[in-house]
Amino acid sequence: MSRGALRLGAFDCPGLELVRSGLRWLREDGYFCRAREPAAYCNIAIIGSDAFGPERSDLQVALAPARSGRLFHGQSVAHGGVLDRLPRERWNPDTAWAFLEETQEDSGVLDGETQLTFYAGRRFSDIAEDRSGLLTGWHDRVRAWTGNPGSATLLGAGTCEMEAILRGDDGSFAAMLAHRTSDVQIVVSSGEPLVPSSAVLAGGLSRSAADVASIRADIASTFGVDGPTPTGNDWIFIGALIHGLEQSPLTDQYQHFGRSGLGVAEPASAVCLSLTTEMPPTARHKRLGYALTIHGYRLAAVPPAVRFWLQHHFDFLTRTIEEIARDYAALAAGSRQLFMVNCVSTSRMDNVRSYQQLDVATLRMLSSVRAKELNLMLHDLERSSGIAIIDADAMAADMGMLVNFPDGVHASGALVGEMRAELARQLAAYGIPGFSK
C-alpha cells in the first residue's frame, strides 16, 4: 500500500485569480473511490474577468482522484456553514484536499493527481438562488464539462427522462460522463414551462431579436389587461415563459474554464431530443404565430390570469405528423447530429382490443396511437435525414412494462440506464468526439 496526497493543482490563467468555497464531500472518509469518481466539490469564482455572465453565481467544480484507491479527507479544506457555499478562499495549487491509498494493481490508471469536472447553471432569474447542493437552483440550462476549453458538446432537451439520462440519479452527470473516452461537455436545457417540442425549437432557431421584442411588447400590452387581476404566481409563470421564448438552445455558445484558462465552445454538434415532447398540447399565438408547447398537467394548474390570457390569445391545436416531421428534418440539417429518444407506445393500461370500430376523431385522442404514429415517422426520418434513434419503446417492451414503465409516463432507473448506454453507443457509432470508439 502507498498513500499519496491529492493536490488541487494549478491553472494557467495570467491576470486572473481563482477563489473557492470550502469543500463539500460526496464520499465518506475511507471510501474506496474509483478513478475519476467525484469525491468532493466546491463553488468557485474567477476574479478579474466578466466571463460566464448569468452563470457566474453558480460555477462549481468537482474533484476526483485520477487513480482508484481508498480516499481519506484532507484537513481544514471543509469549513461548514456558509463558508462551504460562497467562494472566498484563494485556490492554492498545493493544497492537499485528500489522500489516496492505492494498491499496486490500481496504480497508474491515469496520469495526474486530480481530475476536475466543472459545472455551470444559468438561472431563470438572479434571485432564484439555491446553493444547497451540486447544481441546485432554478436553472434553464445546466452543464458539466471535463478538461480544457474546446471540448465537444452534447446537448439534451426534452421531457423529464432526458434529464434522468444525462444528469443521472444524483444530478452530477457522472453516469453519462463515465461513458466518455476523452474530454466532453454535456448540457441539459429546460425552458419550463415551455416543452422543447419541434415547433418550439424550430421557432427559437428562426426567431430574430425583433421577433423577441414583438413578443415582449404584445405580452406587455395584453396580459392582465382584461380578465382576472394577475397575482405574483401569474407573473412568475409569464416571466418564465418569456425567458424560454428568448432562448435558442441549439445556437447557444458556451464559455469554458479549465487548467489552461478561459475559452469558448461552439454550439452543440450532437443534440439529443425526446419525441415525447410532441405529446403535450401545442398552442399558436393568433396574431404573431409563435408556438407554445406546455404539459397538460401544467395547463390544468395555471393561475387564473394566465389561463384567461392563453384562452383569448392562442389557438390550441394538434399538429399533424407531417408538420412535426418537417420541423425535425430542419432541426437535423446543418452541422448537428440529431439523436432522438422515441415514445414508449405501449401501456399496460391500454385495453383496446380492436381499433376498427373507432372513428378517426377518437383514434386521434388515444395517446398510444399517437405515439406509434410518431415512432413510425421517426423511422422514416432516420432513413431520409440521418436522425439516430434511441429505441426506448423496444427497451421498455424487452425489460417489462409493469416494473420499468409502471405509470405509462416515467421510466425506472434500470430503463433510464439502458437508454443512457444506448445513447453512448450511438454517439460512438456516429463518431462524436469524446465518445468515439
Is 263 in the same domain as 354? Answer: yes
Residues near 225 by beta carbon (within 8 Å), at least 6 away in sequence: none
Assigned domain for 222 exists:
yes
Q: For residues 360 and 369, what is the distance between their CA atoms, to the nearest angstrom?
A: 11
Angstrom distance (rounded) from CA 391 to CA 395? 6
CB 259 within 8 A of CB 11: yes
Query: Are residues 104 and 221 part of one domain?
Result: no
Pairing of strands 152-157, 139-146: unpaired
Rg (CA), the chain: 24
Q: Which three cell numbers stand for residue 56?
A: 457566474
pLDDT at 109: 40
Sign of the dihedral defined by the CA atoms of residues 310, 314, 316, 320, in that order: negative
380 shares a domain with 240? yes
Residue 106 pLDDT exceeds 60:
no
Q: What are 13's three cell numbers?
A: 490563467
Torsion of CA 85, 86, 87, 88, to 10 degrees: -130
What percentage of the chain has pLDDT greater than the value 70?
92
Residue 57 has pLDDT above 70, yes or no: yes
Taking only the tens place, the pLDDT of each residue in 242-290 is 999 999 999 999 999 999 899 888 899 999 999 999 988 899 999 999 9
Please provide the DSSP assignment of 132-177 as one string. SSTT-S-EEEEEEEESSTT-EEEEEESSHHHHHHHH-TTSSSHHHH
Note whether residue 370 is domain-resident: yes
Is the predicted pLDDT of residue 108 greater than 50, yes or no?
no
Domain-embedded: residue 228:
yes
Residue 179 belongs to some domain of the structure: no
Query: 362 falls in which pLDDT band (50, 70, 90)?
Result: low
The pLDDT value recorded for residue 189 is 96
- The answer to whether position 435 is within a domain reads no
Residue 232 sits in the same domain as residue 361: yes
Going by C-alpha positions, the residue among 46, 78, 49 that lies closest to residue 59 is 46
Last residue of a domain, one of 116, 138, 153: 116
Instruction: Specify the pLDDT at position 402.
Output: 86
Residue 354 confidence (pLDDT): 67
Do residues 41 and 8 make contact, with C-beta atoms less than 8 angstroms apart? Answer: no
Q: Is residue 111 part of a domain?
A: yes
Of 340-344, 368-372, 419-423, least confident by mean pLDDT is 368-372
Kindly write down the DSSP assignment for every residue of 62-74, as one continuous string.
Answer: EEEESS-EEEEEP
Residues 247 and 347 in one domain: yes
Residue at 372 is within a domain: yes
My answer on whether omega of the bond before 228 falls inside 30° of 0, hence cis, is no
Q: Tell me the per-residue pLDDT of 199-227, one tens digit each, with 9 for 90 and over.
A: 999 999 999 999 999 999 999 999 999 99
- Report whether pLDDT(94) > 50: yes
pLDDT of residue 110: 40
Do both 219 and 336 map to the same domain?
yes
DSSP-assigned letters across all residues of 321-358? HHHHHHHHHHHHSTTPEEEEE------TT-----STTS
**Last residue in a domain, options 101, 116, 131:** 116
Of 65, 98, 116, the residue at which a domain comes to its end is 116
Of the candidates 177, 166, 343, which has an alpha carbon nearest to the alpha carbon of residue 271? 166
Domain span at 231:
198-429
What's the rounded mean pLDDT across residues 342-370?
71
Inter-residue contact 84 to 23 (CB < 8 Å): yes
Cell of 204: 427559437
Q: What is the pLDDT of residues 111-149, one digit of tens each?
A: 358 999 999 999 999 999 999 999 999 999 999 999 776
Q: Please give the average per-residue pLDDT across 357-381, as a whole number.
A: 80
For position 111, what pLDDT does the model report? 39
Q: What is the mean pLDDT of residues 44-70?
A: 94
Asked whether residue 98 falls in the same domain as residue 232, the answer is: no
In terms of pLDDT, which residue wins out, 64 or 369? 64
Band of the pLDDT at 152, cuts 50, 70, 90? confident
- Mean pLDDT, the chain, as a whole number? 91
Q: How confident is the model at residue 335 (pLDDT cuts 50, 70, 90)?
A: confident
What whole-number distance in Å separates Cα of residue 221 and Cα of residue 128?
Answer: 26
Greater confidence, 60 or 318?
60
**Segment 168-173 mean pLDDT:** 93
Residue 237 lies in a domain: yes
Q: How many domains does the chain have?
A: 2
Q: Are residues 356 and 213 in the same domain?
A: yes
